[in-house]
Structure 1
Amino acid sequence: MDVLSLIGVLLAFVAIMGGNYLEGGHVGSLLNGPAALIVIGGTLGAVFLQTPMQVLKRAMTILHWIFFPPRIDLPGGIDRVVGWSLIARKEGLLGLESIAESEPDAYSRKGLQLLVDGAEPESIRSILEVDFFTQEDRDIQAAKVFESMGGYSPTIGIIGAVMGLIHVMGNLDDPSMLGSGIAVAFVATIYGVGLANLLLLPIANKLKTLAARQSRYREMLLEGILSIAEGENPRSIELKLQGFME
């Protein structure tokens, strides 16, 4: 579990609630159903309108990365590639066939199978780069769904504020109706800005960072597999791949 993400979420909300309490406010003053409906419903509606279904599904699929990110072990990956190169040097590329069949990672498995099949380095590069860039683009587009939400929610919050003020202006002759309208106006703005800056935009940036880390790992695998195909020395391969270390 990504403890830093958990701390970030808790700290953000404790700071907001704590500041509100120190100013003499109470939690109930920040809870407003109509304001939440306007901001959350409006934001989701706008994003649903702009986002293709496959991108939206991918965004929901990778959302759990915020707290449970995919394990990216660069040092372990480098050791695996060096191990493959040692086997290829001793037994030839066909010696990697059993490893390819049992390899759990689909990207690595495809690369190893191309080595076993005797594909040329340029052919290996072109095939694996398609997977590399396609997966990276899918994850970045999914992250941008939350970035879009972060862009829309403050504006929807302003719409909620204006609607609340319209309600207030329409009931100036009835003081008992003014409080609820003013509450919706201010709380909707808080919901819109807070949702964007405390959750949605940080989530989008975190997902982009994780997608970039995965891309770096796949790029390392690609360079390693190409080096094996070109018959490079295992020690040289190791030194080259260490350049991908963070």
Structure 2
Amino acid sequence: MDLASILGIVFSFSVVVVAMFLGGNLSQFVDLPSVLIVIGGGLAATLIRFPLAGLLAAFGTGGKVAFKHKKSDARSIIEKIAELADIVRRNGPLGLEEVELSDPTLAKGVQYVTDGYEAAFIRDAMERERDLYLERLEEGQRVFKALGDSAPAFGMIGTLVGLVQLLSNMDDPSAIGPAMATALLTTLYGALIANVICMPIADKLGSKFKTEELNQSLIIDGVMQLRQNKSPDSVKEALISYLPEHARAGFQPGEAA
């Protein structure tokens, strides 16, 4: 689980709720028409932009990636591939059969090597799967960004609806309060949904897109090194370019990792 995402959302809403509680009764900040306008309208507008099947898949993929933390980084991936290269040099490709890997992409690539597939097939298959995975991530980012754009817009629409109701019932004091609540709370709901949930998740998906693109490409190149039966030092030499300059210290072939 990505605790940063969860804690950020919980803390943001907690701050707002505490401020509401200190300022008066929480029930005055609950308005069903405002919820329907912002959430229902935002989802409807997003549905217009994307096909239903793609929308549901994007929600699933985007939500899963945004709240799932992968501990693997480029350096640890290179170290693992170097270990696998040592196994291949000592025992051949079949020596990889007993190795358990937590990364599914690396595990699939290692299985290709163990089964003896041609290098061209391995690269094509893994690059195609990488591109499709990144496309799903990008689609999830677009969906959450669309929701982040729609929520404040429908908050403004709700404000206009509330103002129309307010001005239409100036002679009825009992109708002024609910109309004003709709006018103001829709803006509040739209701002909260956009700035606490949708836009942060869209930004996190964008960041993870870049990380996953680098790691997936690194794994593909590493698997190709295994397929060519390269030595651990050769693997590190070939893959070290994926590391930023500050992470290369002590990682040169022949040096302690």
Interval of TM-score (by shorter of Structure 1 and Structure 2):
0.7 to 0.9
Q: CA deviation at 1:11?
A: 2.8
Trace 1:117-132 onto structure 2 (pairs within 5 A): 117-132=115-130
User: Could you say what secondary structure the match of 2:41 adopts?
Assistant: helix
What per-residue deviation string (whole Å, max 9, x for no partner) do you get for residues 107-154 of structure 1? 334423433454454443222111111111112212321111001111
Structure 1: unaligned runs, 5 residues or longer: none
Distance 1:71 1:41 in 2: 36
For 1:91, give the aligned amino acid: N
Trace 1:42-191 onto structure 2 (pairs within 5 A): 42-62=41-61, 63-72=63-72, 74-96=74-96, 98-99=97-98, 105-191=103-189
User: Could you say what secondary structure the match of 1:173 adopts?
Assistant: coil
What per-residue deviation string (whole Å, max 9, x for no partner) do you get for residues 65-112 of structure 1? 44443443544433331122112222333444x258x66654334423
Greater displacement, 4-13 / 139-148: 4-13
- Contact 1:58-1:139 within 8 A present in 2 as well: no
Closer/same/farther in 2, CA of residues 103 and 33 from structure 1, 3 Å limit = same
For 1:33, give the aligned amino acid: L
Instruction: Count how many residue pairs are aligned between Structure 1 and Structure 2.
Output: 243
- Contact 2:59-2:143 within 8 A present in 1 as well: no
- Contact 2:2-2:69 within 8 A present in 1 as well: yes
- TM-score in terms of structure 1 length: 0.84
Distance 1:58 1:110 in 2: 23
For 1:114, give the aligned amino acid: Y
Q: Which runs of 4+ in 1 moved over 4 A?
A: 18-22, 73-76, 102-106, 117-120
User: Could you say what secondary structure the match of 2:123 adopts?
Assistant: helix
For 2:15, give the aligned amino acid: A
Greater displacement, 174-183 / 12-21: 12-21
Distance 1:55 1:117 in 2: 34
Q: CA deviation at 1:53?
A: 3.3
Q: Which residue of 2 aligns with 1:229?
A: 227
Q: CA RMSD in A?
A: 2.7
- Contact 1:136-1:212 within 8 A present in 2 as well: no
Closer/same/farther in 2, CA of residues 6 and 103 from structure 1, 3 Å limit = closer
User: Could you say what secondary structure the match of 2:15 adopts?
Assistant: helix
- Contact 2:58-2:136 within 8 A present in 1 as well: no
What per-residue deviation string (whole Å, max 9, x for no partner) do you get for residues 150-197 of structure 1? 011111111111111111121121122111101100111111122101
Identity of aligned residues (%): 29
Distance 1:141 1:232 in 2: 37
What per-residue deviation string (whole Å, max 9, x for no partner) do you get for residues 45-75 of structure 1? 1122322233323333231444443443544
- Contact 2:148-2:193 within 8 A present in 1 as well: yes
Structure 2: unaligned runs, 5 residues or longer: 245-257
For 2:129, give the aligned amino acid: D
- TM-score in terms of structure 2 length: 0.81
Q: CA deviation at 1:198?
A: 1.4
